[in-house]
Amino acid sequence: MKQGKTGIRLTNGQVGFLLVVPGLAIFAGIILYPFISAIIMSFTDRTMLSPEYQYIGLQNYRKVFADPYFMKTVRTTVVFVIFSTLLPFTLGFIWAILLNQGFKGSEFLRGVTLVNWIIPGTAIGFLWSWIFNGQYGVLNGLLMKLGVLEAGIPWLGQTGTALACVVIARTWQMLPWYMAFLLGGLQGVSLEQVEAARVDGANNWQVFWYMVLPSMKTIAFLVLILGTIGNLQHFDLPWTMVQGGPARATTTLSIEVYTTAFKNWNMGKAATIGTIWAVLLALFSFVYLRQVNEAE
């Protein structure tokens, strides 16, 4: 029980509520209000070309789900999310296992690996655009010098290779993040139990399969969920590299919302796609929070 100079008595619960009110107000102002406004806007025909609009019910949702381009965007997003999550996770796990051996120079390699994590996404996008450039790119130059190619390939200009290039760039960007989390999990494995298993005759593979992997189950799942959420809402790197092209081959939901709103000026449709996108993010966030609670 707290008593101020005015003589008003407040319970601990009331004091706690007053302390969180500013945070709740900020949350409502910068997140909740825009989100609710976007949901309401998804039921209108609002554009950026006119201040007038009217409510049209579920027409935007019907048009979006009937649009073959939208369904292609969903498929592209799914492919991008799956590969941009599993590839850096797998490579990060392998790299974390190697660094966990504690060999000479492992601390230096760990620091070097984390360098590209602090590079802005737009800078990474420009870097990999230069690497994959069809005319003066590093990759084409290297392959032609090795005799693998006779002429340069427009990696970012072909529908069959553009998305793969973006996934490779995203993998390079995210590998340190996965490595750091997974390395922390590996270092939490009980060395005493590992040594006891080796004394009992377990080989390296048995130790890894029956002791290390089970102990990494929770953190691996959490990292995968967080990575999936991050890739679902990722925008800057694929936009910097190819702006959703060629022929919408790299257009994900985040790019679709941006182009619909700020290139086609159709705010109602953009809000509709954004709402669908937010529902997907909410589902993965729910799974993540549930797993965290179970882990605790």
The phi, psi pair for 265, rounded to 5°, reads: 65, 15
Would you say 279 and 232 are in contact if contact means Cβ atoms under 8 Å apart? no
Per-residue CA distances from 210 to 82, 116, 149, 239 (Å): 27, 33, 45, 42
Token digits of residue 61:
């949702």
Domains in the chain, number = 1
What is the distance between the alpha carbons of residues 243 and 155, in angstroms, rounded to a whole number?
14
- Structural domain including 187 reads 68-295
What is the distance between the alpha carbons of residues 161 and 155, in angstroms, rounded to a whole number?
6
Query: Where do we find the tokens 């700020």?
Result: 262
The phi, psi pair for 136, rounded to 5°, reads: -130, 25
- Non-local (6+) Cβ contacts of 193 within 8 A are 211
Would you say 231 and 80 are in contact if contact means Cβ atoms under 8 Å apart? yes
pLDDT (tens digit per residue) in 135-187 = 889 999 999 999 888 888 999 999 999 999 999 999 999 999 999 999 988 88
CA-CA-CA-CA torsion sign (111, 112, 114, 117) = positive
Asked whether residue 124 is domain-assigned, the answer is yes
Q: What b/e string do you get for 219-252 counting C-beta neighbours within 10 Å, with b at 16 or more?
A: bbbbbbbbbbbbbbebeebbbbbbebebebbbbb
Banded pLDDT at 127 (limits 50, 70, 90): very high
- 250 pLDDT exceeds 60? yes
Q: What b/e string do you get for 179-205 counting C-beta neighbours within 10 Å, with b at 16 or more?
A: bbbbbebbeebeeeebeeeeeeebeee
Asked whether residue 13 is domain-assigned, the answer is no
Asked whether residue 210 is domain-assigned, the answer is yes
Banded pLDDT at 290 (limits 50, 70, 90): confident
Asked whether residue 26 is domain-assigned, the answer is no
Asked whether residue 255 is domain-assigned, the answer is yes
What is the distance between the alpha carbons of residues 21 and 36, in angstroms, rounded to a whole number?
20
What is the distance between the alpha carbons of residues 29 and 229, in angstroms, rounded to a whole number?
23
Confidence (pTM)? 0.85
Asked whether residue 35 is domain-assigned, the answer is no
Q: How many CB atoms lie within 10 A of CB 22?
A: 9
Asked whether residue 30 is domain-assigned, the answer is no
The phi, psi pair for 36, rounded to 5°, reads: -65, -40
Count how many residues are written for the chain.
296
End-to-end CA distance of the chain: 31
pLDDT (tens digit per residue) in 185-229 = 888 877 777 777 777 777 777 777 878 888 888 888 889 988 998
What is the distance between the alpha carbons of residues 68 and 72, in angstroms, rounded to a whole number?
6
pLDDT (tens digit per residue) in 260-271 = 999 989 999 999
Task: List the CATH number of the domain containing 98.
Answer: 1.10.3720.10
- 3 pLDDT exceeds 60? no
Asked whether residue 281 is domain-assigned, the answer is yes
